[in-house]
């Protein structure tokens, strides 16, 4: 049985609102609704989520399709960027580049990449430890910690080249699949529009 790690699609950015409270944009919401409408979520799948608003909004749609509740955990949240708060897109990209390039350093006060990776790997492991064998799982989360998880599962070094923006949709809303039992990465990031029914088998 396999698990799907899915990132939230486009969000409505507002410099006056804390980033964890940003909701999905109209485009992001539409993409998420189209994803579940294509029967890409199996019945009775367990749905885990970050507690950030954009991830929870996605998770609620996924869980409704599965007929199960959302199991939310703040430890599945994005890397902690509260030291800088909102950054304009160009400056954010520069800071994110440095975050991945220097994983053992705190960039502008951000959570270190190695610490964020340890946190997401441990939290995903604990969640899967509570899942009954044969149950498909969907994790709804974020691009940076998702990339750090993907690097771990794939035995790859932390690098920006592994980020979802380099492989999938640049607006987010991407996923990758991995084997639950062996924690083995299957493939790479792909846009949610490319994820097919039966990914869990």
Domain presence at residue 113: yes
- Backbone angles phi and psi of 170, in degrees to 5: -70, -15
For 157, what's the count of Cα atoms within 13 Å in the CB-facing half-sphere?
A: 7
Q: What CATH number does residue 69 fall under?
A: 3.40.50.1240
Structural domain of residue 36, as residue ranges?
18-194
pLDDT band at 105 (very low <50, low <70, confident <90, very high): very high
Domain presence at residue 199: no
Higher pLDDT, 175 or 89: 175
Please state the separation of Cα 109 from the chain's center in Å.
22
Tokens of 32: 């998420």
Alpha-carbon span 54 to 173, nearest angstrom: 11
* pLDDT value of residue 70: 98
CA distances from 172 to 22, 68, 155, 178, 189 (A): 14, 24, 23, 19, 10
Alpha-carbon span 170 to 180, nearest angstrom: 27
- Backbone angles phi and psi of 187, in degrees to 5: 75, -150
Alpha-carbon span 100 to 49, nearest angstrom: 23
Domain presence at residue 12: no
Domain presence at residue 135: yes
* pLDDT value of residue 183: 96
Alpha-carbon span 39 to 65, nearest angstrom: 8
Number of domains in the chain: 1
pLDDT band at 166 (very low <50, low <70, confident <90, very high): very high
b vs e for 25-44, b when ≥16 Cβ sit within 10 Å of the residue's Cβ?
beebbebbeebbeeebbbee
Q: What is the dihedral of CA 201, 124, 168, 64, to 10 degrees?
A: 70
Domain presence at residue 170: yes
> What is the arithmetic mean of pLDDT over 93-98?
97
> What is the arithmetic mean of pLDDT over 29-58?
97
* pLDDT value of residue 130: 92
The answer to whether 148 touches 113, Cβ cutoff 8 Å, is: yes
Domain presence at residue 146: yes
Kindly report the average pLDDT of the chain as a whole number: 96
**Nearest residue to 58 via CA among 140, 136, 174:** 140
* pLDDT value of residue 181: 94
Please state the separation of Cα 46 from the chain's center in Å.
15
> What is the arithmetic mean of pLDDT over 57-71?
98
Q: Backbone dihedral region of 108: left (phi > 0), alpha (psi from -120 to 50 degrees) or beta?
A: left
* pLDDT value of residue 187: 92
Domain presence at residue 151: yes
Record the pTM.
0.97
* pLDDT value of residue 111: 98
* pLDDT value of residue 93: 95
pLDDT band at 169 (very low <50, low <70, confident <90, very high): very high
């Amino acid at each position: 049985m396999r698990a799907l790690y899915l990132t939230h699609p486009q969000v409505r950015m507002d410099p006056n609102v804390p980033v964890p409270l940003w909701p999905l944009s109209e485009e992001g919401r539409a993409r998420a609704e189209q994803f579940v409408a294509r029967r890409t979520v199996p019945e009775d799948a367990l749905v885990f989520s970050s507690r950030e608003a954009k991830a929870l909004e996605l998770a609620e749609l996924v869980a409704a399709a599965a007929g199960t509740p959302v199991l939310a955990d703040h430890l599945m949240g994005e890397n902690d960027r509260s030291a800088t708060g909102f950054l304009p897109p160009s400056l954010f990209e520069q800071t994110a580049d440095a975050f991945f390039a220097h994983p053992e350093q705190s960039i502008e006060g951000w959570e270190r990449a190695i610490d964020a990776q340890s946190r997401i790997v441990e939290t995903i492991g604990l969640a899967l430890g509570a899942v009954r064998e044969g149950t498909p799982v969907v994790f709804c989360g974020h691009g940076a910690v998702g990339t750090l998880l993907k690097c771990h599962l794939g035995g790859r070094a932390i690098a920006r080249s592994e980020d979802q923006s380099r492989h999938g949709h640049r607006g987010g809303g991407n996923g990758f699949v991995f084997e639950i039992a062996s924690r083995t990465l299957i493939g790479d990031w792909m846009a949610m529009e490319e994820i097919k029914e039966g990914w869990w088998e």
